[in-house]
Chains A and B, each alone.
Chain A
Amino acid sequence: MWSSLSAAFPRGLLVALVLALAPAGAKTLTVCPSCPVRTLKEAFALAEDGDTVVVDGGHYAEGNLVLDKSIVLLGKNLPVLDGEGKYEILTVKADGVQIRGFEFRGSGVNFIKDQAAVKMVDAEHCVIENNRFVNNFFAIYLEKSRHCMIRNNRIVSNAENENYSGNGIHLWNSFDVDIVGNYVARHRDGIYLEFVRDSRIVNNVSEDHVRYGLHFMFSEDNLFRGNVFRRSGAGVAVMYSKRTRMEENRFEYNWGGASYGLLLKDINDSDIRRNVFFKNTVGIYADGSNRTSVYANDFVQNGYAMRIFANSMGMIFMYNNFLGNTFDVATNSTESYNSYLKNYWDKYEGYDLDKNGIGDVPYRPVSLFSLVVENYPQALVLLHSPLVQFMDRAERIFPVFSPKAIEDDQPFMFRILWSEWKNLPSDTER
């Protein structure tokens, strides 16, 4: 992944250099409140492909700006482009456009068009870097674009409900896009991808969104890694997507009546590894997820570590740590077509006579109470009642009801220190 990322970036840079240098008379235009050229509209009219437009300070409210030349836009002293809460601010319809160092403010809420602060339409090799986005409807919007880089932007809005808010970074029908090191807060979805493939979302922080921190729809072969998803309706929702890799992320404080750390809905062949789930109502919620492996993750102090519905098949749970969760695993059926193996469960009370670090008796992570609750939700009123604790304990000693199909027959005796592993054993075992 790093190789592909580093490959993608210099390529973007190279293209930029080529575009900037190739035309013989590439020139630089300066826009500022006291310059001869005072509006971006004028500058866009004067510029030619390959030119650089430097905007030095100032506040520009010029309605909807349309840029159809491949130029480099450089902001000095943080010039502000203002949509006045009415317009789409900048619409780009050319390849190789770079936008750096601007503040975009107040793209207008619209229920017919997705108005964005920056919209790329059918663009290649775009770069959006080091900008600030304040109180926009949609902030960055890529439509049928490819080979783009969205890096180190700070994107903050003031979304309060789903209807009147848009997404921070929105990708539609795009591929090979890198979204790196951004901070996104208080939008509807922090980052939204629909019909997107071969893209990478790395080292972002996405928090306090009305809906999801990161949202995949109908997307394939994407990777997200090293991100933090905090205090949203769901940290990440992956829906109707294939081959998504989810690595080394932190999902935390996604807490509320209907909140999830990671929501999986009809996804296939994906890989979830080395993530930390901390204090989410539900760590992983899997509905119709197939052939997905969950390796070496920490589930710490969640309400439910995982809710795995019986329509999920062929999932493998291995080398995970379950620490201080109210429920480890909940499911709605006694049947299960997933395998649980070699995890550490802090509620495990078995023994290890041969001292090989693996418990000698199996652990059944679905407690009787969680099974009851799944079928009779009102029974949750009895949470932490002595009766429930007695019931669970009795069931653990003489299992009658708890699903035999969900059983870890090689539970670890001690917490698995997977962060110290260079390669996951599962890489070879699989």
Chain B
Amino acid sequence: MRGAVYKIFKYTLFDLLRSRWLGSYAILVGLMTAGLLYLGDDPTQAAVSVLNLVILVVPLVSLVLGLMYHYANRDFALLVLTQPVPRGSVYWGQLLGLGLSLTGAYLSGVAVPFAAYGALGMGEVDWPTVGMLLFVGAMVTLVFSSLALFVGVSNDERVRALGIAIAVWFVLTFVYDSLLLAFIILAQAYPIDRWVIGISMLNPVDLARVLVLLHLDTAALMGYTGALFRKFLGTGLGTATAVLALVLWTVVPAVLAGRVFARKDF
């Protein structure tokens, strides 16, 4: 099975690398990062702006490109499935190919401009922060590509799937935060700091945002809750929890989608 996963993965990866979309995505991310870096006067400010990219654009692109690839590739999957190949390997090969190529596009898009900025001596690059930005963006990409496959595998109709994907994106980026804000306002009379931390760690997008913000000077603005957050994430347990939460967000939809795929009647 491992050989088959690798073959499918390799095929998916090369197929995606040849596609125009992936290249355009990498270039888009690269141009946006470069623009923010070179046009602005402060790399910290640029990091905050790239963070916005991670929160808004990366999830959406991962979802949409993931779905597009899934549907475009459906006939190929069907063809492969008629061969004596385990179903699981077809699915995991596809997921790995998709997730890693999108991650690669994101990483190169962000890292190259920052590296050039540093190498050209245009200013100090705060590599720990950029590193966190890269890590968090990569995790968000993986989370949303596995969500994309889950939505894709569970729906035959692509318009419906696209609708669901956008709804998922909207819920995680906007609705979730609105509910959190409503909770904060309604439960003001209670000691809710720990709850707020817990709730924001449940959402991969919020978690990504907080992880990066705590790396920036901006953390001092985040007041008591921010300090608590920082203290918690400063501990081994806190870091482990944060990483575990992101990994769970990647693995759970992937496994669920794998089960649907395994039982699916194509």
| Chain B contacts for A378, CB-based, 8 A | 184, 188, 192-193, 196, 223-225
Given A376-B184, A378-B225, A383-B213, A256 and B220 contact (CB-CB distance below 8 Å): yes
Count chain A residues whose beta carbon lies closer than 8 angstroms to a beta carbon of B.
28
- B interface, over-half SS: helix
Question: Which residues of A in the span 233-279 have a Cβ within 8 Å of any Cβ on B?
Answer: 255-257, 259, 279
Q: Which of B52, B184, B218 contacts A379 (CB 8 A)?
A: B184
Q: Which of B45, B56, B181, B229 contacts A382 (CB 8 A)?
A: B181
Given A378-B192, A385-B206, A387-B178, A255 and B220 contact (CB-CB distance below 8 Å): yes
A302 to B42, CA, bound (A): 13
Q: Does B120 contact A (CB under 8 A)?
A: no
Does the CB pair A386–B222 fall under 8 Å? no
Does the CB pair B45–A380 fall under 8 Å? no
A94 to B56, CA, bound (A): 71
| Chain A contacts for B129, CB-based, 8 A | none
| Chain B contacts for A377, CB-based, 8 A | 223-225
Does the CB pair B221–A390 fall under 8 Å? no
Q: Does B108 contact A (CB under 8 A)?
A: no
Does the CB pair B221–A381 fall under 8 Å? no
| Chain A contacts for B218, CB-based, 8 A | 303, 326, 383-384
Question: Which residues of B in the span 195-241 have a Cβ within 8 Å of any Cβ on A?
Answer: 196-197, 200, 206, 209-210, 213, 217-218, 220-227, 229
Does the CB pair A386–B174 fall under 8 Å? yes
Given A301-B42, A376-B185, A390-B174, A382 and B180 contact (CB-CB distance below 8 Å): yes
Question: Which residues of A in the span 299-319 have a Cβ within 8 Å of any Cβ on B?
Answer: 301, 303-304
* Closest beta carbon of chain A to B141's beta carbon, Å: 17
| Chain A contacts for B242, CB-based, 8 A | none
A304 to B184, CA, bound (A): 22
Q: What does the 1/0 interface line of A388-407 toward B look like (CB < 8 Å)?
A: 11100000000000000000
Does the CB pair B210–A381 fall under 8 Å? yes
Does the CB pair B42–A385 fall under 8 Å? no
Does the CB pair A372–B220 fall under 8 Å? no
* Closest beta carbon of chain A to B63's beta carbon, Å: 15
Q: Does A63 contact B (CB under 8 A)?
A: no
A373 to B224, CA, bound (A): 12
| Chain A contacts for B192, CB-based, 8 A | 378
Does the CB pair A376–B220 fall under 8 Å? no
A255 to B178, CA, bound (A): 30
Q: Does A324 contact B (CB under 8 A)?
A: yes
Does the CB pair A257–B227 fall under 8 Å? yes
Does the CB pair A372–B223 fall under 8 Å? no
* Closest beta carbon of chain B to A412's beta carbon, Å: 20
Does the CB pair A380–B226 fall under 8 Å? yes
Does the CB pair A381–B220 fall under 8 Å? no
Q: Which of B48, B188, B222 contacts A381 (CB 8 A)?
A: B222
Does the CB pair B173–A381 fall under 8 Å? no
| Chain A contacts for B209, CB-based, 8 A | 384-385
List 3 tightest A-B contacts by C-beta distance, closest first: A387-B177, A303-B221, A380-B222
Provide 26 A-B residue pairs closer than 8 Å at the C-beta atoms, listed in order of the A residue. A255-B217, A255-B220, A303-B221, A324-B42, A376-B185, A377-B223, A378-B184, A378-B224, A378-B225, A380-B222, A380-B226, A381-B180, A381-B184, A381-B206, A381-B222, A381-B225, A383-B213, A383-B218, A383-B222, A385-B177, A385-B209, A386-B55, A386-B173, A386-B177, A387-B178, A388-B177
